[in-house]
Amino acid sequence: MILLFRLSHRKERDKRITTHLFLSARIFNVKEIYYSGEKDSVLEKNITSMEEKWGKTINKIEYVKNPKLKMKDLKNKGYKIVHLTMYGENYKKVIEKLRDANLCIIVGSEKVPGWVYDVSDYNISIGNQPHSEITAFAVFMYEIYKCNLKIENIKGKIKIVPSPKGKTVIVNE
């Protein structure tokens, strides 16, 4: 199983970025999302509301007051901690050994504290230049799944019918 951990969320500064990160997690079938920093009930409500319309994929969104303790708990449960950072080693060097592991993927916000680098089993980069954390997460997940996305057939109130032109939307009440 793959979990997402958004580190140091800031309500005003990060609201759109964190929302987009959580939406990206949905498309990659991430079932549990944790976040630390500032508790954001509006963020949680927005994701829950969106899932009510489009179909539920996330089983848990949980605010974590003490991320160090949570990381330790996840490691004790057998999860490999993967920190996505532009300072890490290239993902291509380690991706094969991570494909079948239980992973907790850390995506930072503000300056990431040193303890995160220490607690992580892998500090991984998709490139050693500044880039978006959403890009890092999406590229990493795409590679984990060998470019074969694990999107489930999600049943929601709203469904998009793929179309080469225009928009076809079905609304089920």
The CA distances from residue 105 to 17, 42, 53, 108, in Å, are 16, 23, 27, 10
Mean pLDDT confidence for 5-25? 94
Residue whose C-alpha is closest to residue 62's, from 48, 78, 79: 48
CA angle 162, 167, 168 (to 5 degrees): 65
Give per-residue pLDDT as tens, 98-110.
999 999 999 998 8
How large a percentage of the chain has pLDDT more than 70?
98
Contacts of 90 (CB under 8 A, 6+ apart): 124, 125, 126, 128
148, pLDDT greater than 80: no
Model pLDDT, residue 153: 66
* Largest Cα–Cα separation, the chain: 50
The CA distances from residue 99 to 22, 57, 132, in Å, are 21, 21, 23
Other residues' Cβ atoms within 10 Å of the Cβ of residue 84: 25
End-to-end CA distance of the chain: 32
Mean pLDDT confidence for 21-49? 95
User: Mean of the per-residue pLDDT values for the chain?
Assistant: 92
> Which domains occur in the chain, in start order?
2-171 (3.40.1280.10)
Give per-residue pLDDT as tens, 113-147.
999 999 999 999 998 888 889 999 999 999 998 87
Q: Tell me the pTM.
A: 0.91
Alpha-carbon distance of 75 to 150, in angstroms, equals 24
How large a percentage of the chain has pLDDT more than 90?
74
